[in-house]
Amino acid sequence: MQSPRQTVRLPQFDRDVKKLGKKYRHAQEDIDAFERLLRSGSIDIAPWADQVGGFGNRVVKKARVISQDLGGKSGGYRIWWLELPEGKVLIQVYTHHDAPNERQIHQETVRRLRLQGY
């Protein structure tokens, strides 16, 4: 059995979750469940996740997360994280409906990583 991998939430990620929680009652619960899956290593997240280009040698992935309030993955949350050998750094979370375009999400991800020294 694999040992649990570490996940770290950027401060902005926690603010995103808090903001989503005001609109979607189960946001914290849904995001926590996904984080547990990432940490466990017991299932393969790869079918749900896509690697995002434009980060040099850093591996940034994004995935759809099922939402109890929005009805499944297509209407659910999007989570971006940085893959590191020691674990994952959760960068940002948003809904497809509430998000700006993909380019703005990418720019915000770069900003958040720089701000935290990644």
Average pLDDT over residues 92-108: 87
Q: What are the residues whose beta carbons fall under 8 Å from the beta carbon of 78, sequence distance 6 or more?
A: 62, 63, 64, 65, 93, 94, 95, 96, 99, 105
pLDDT higher than threshold 70 for residue 72: no
Which pLDDT tens digit goes with each residue over 22-66?
999 999 999 999 999 888 875 566 667 899 999 999 999 999 888
Rounded CA-CA distance 10/46 in Å is 22
Place of tokens 């297509």: 74
User: What phi-psi label fits residue 117: left (phi over 0), alpha (psi between -120 and 50 degrees) or beta?
Assistant: left
Which pLDDT tens digit goes with each residue over 73-92?
567 899 999 999 888 999 99
Most confident among 59-63, 68-72, 97-101 (mean pLDDT): 59-63
- What is the architecture of the domain spanning 6-115? 2-Layer Sandwich (3.30)
pLDDT higher than threshold 50 for residue 2: no
What global pTM score does this model have?
0.87
